[in-house]
Homo-oligomer: A and B are copies of this chain.
């Protein structure tokens, strides 16, 4: 399964490497876009989309454009989140952040251009029908806009140094990170168009793994390995940030992680036998066991 993952990661990396063609404007904007796109991302979202599509249709190739699109949107969000006006981070995954290399104004523009490019890439894909492309663009824009990722980031920033409850914390994470993870799974559903019951089970699955991802993130900030994480641990406590651990305790957070893990497996168990769910099960394991 690790091999299959690596194959998809290579495929995504290859697609990304020639995704940003240089314009004739003679700036290094494209270089700065590519810098962040190739700065060691784990490709979770695109790989999840391809694995889900492969399970549903045995043909993951049709998922490459939306896979690239969601990775571009994820990447732009990191560039903007790292800006001095937001989290003011100098490093990400052990590399200098975009604005530390290219300067602040270009980092803002590189983010804007990547966000725009995501929709360009999906709209230009020749292997998908216009109807499917519109479904994908509807879902991707909702997932990443003011009711999705950007809205979640806003609520997260606004909640800094204030005390929030678990309901609000889940609201933040469903919007901020869950929405794009959910897009990855449901984008594949848009392409494959399986039965409504299959779509619903996968939608629930994507919701549970999205929350798992975030709970694990909070746990890693407590007991993670700084070297493997590529960032310092304990920063949530230091920044007085509400997390699953701060609100529920270490044990409570572990229990919640277990709850969503069981629920995610349960969603996969509901799928008809025709579907080989081993890859999506592997994603669950990966989300529980990840060290970075």
A138 interfacial contact with B, CB 8 Å: yes
| Residues in B neighbouring A46, C-beta threshold 8 A | none
| Residues in B neighbouring A153, C-beta threshold 8 A | 109
- A158–B105 Cα gap in the complex (Å)? 10
- A27–B104 Cα gap in the complex (Å)? 26
**Given A25-B155, A30-B146: A108 touches B130 (CB 8 Å cut-off):** no
Give the residues from 190 to 214 in chain A that come closer than 8 angstroms, CB to CB, to chain B. none
A113 interfacial contact with B, CB 8 Å: yes
**Given A25-B175, A30-B146, A86-B105: A141 touches B119 (CB 8 Å cut-off):** yes
* Chain A 86-124 interface mask (CB, 8 Å, partner B; 1/0): 100000000000000000111011011101110110011
* Chain A 127-158 interface mask (CB, 8 Å, partner B; 1/0): 00111011001101110111100111111011
Q: Are A138 and B123 in contact (CB under 8 A)?
A: yes
| Residues in B neighbouring A134, C-beta threshold 8 A | 123, 130, 133-134
| Residues in B neighbouring A108, C-beta threshold 8 A | 80, 83, 85-86, 108
| Residues in B neighbouring A146, C-beta threshold 8 A | 20, 23, 29-30, 33, 113, 116-117
| Residues in B neighbouring A20, C-beta threshold 8 A | 146
A26 interfacial contact with B, CB 8 Å: yes
- A157–B102 Cα gap in the complex (Å)? 13
Total copies of this chain within the assembly? 2
Give the residues from 154 to 207 in chain A that come closer than 8 angstroms, CB to CB, to chain B. 154-155, 157-158, 171, 175
- A68–B25 Cα gap in the complex (Å)? 28
Contact among B123, B124, B130, B150 with A113 in the assembled complex (CB-CB below 8 Å)? B150
**Given A85-B108, A108-B108: A144 touches B158 (CB 8 Å cut-off):** no
Quote the shortest CB–CB distance from A233 to chain B (angstroms). 25
| Residues in B neighbouring A133, C-beta threshold 8 A | 130, 134
| Nearest chain B residue, comparing its CB with the CB of A140 | B119
- A150–B119 Cα gap in the complex (Å)? 15
| Residues in B neighbouring A129, C-beta threshold 8 A | 130
| Residues in B neighbouring A33, C-beta threshold 8 A | 146
Q: Which one of A26, A83, A109 has the greatest number of beta carbons of chain B within 10 Å? A: A109
| Nearest chain B residue, comparing its CB with the CB of A111 | B112
Q: Are A27 and B155 in contact (CB under 8 A)?
A: yes
- A106–B116 Cα gap in the complex (Å)? 19
Q: Which 10 A-B pairs have the closest CB atoms?
A: A120-B141, A116-B145, A85-B104, A23-B147, A113-B146, A130-B130, A123-B137, A113-B150, A29-B154, A130-B134
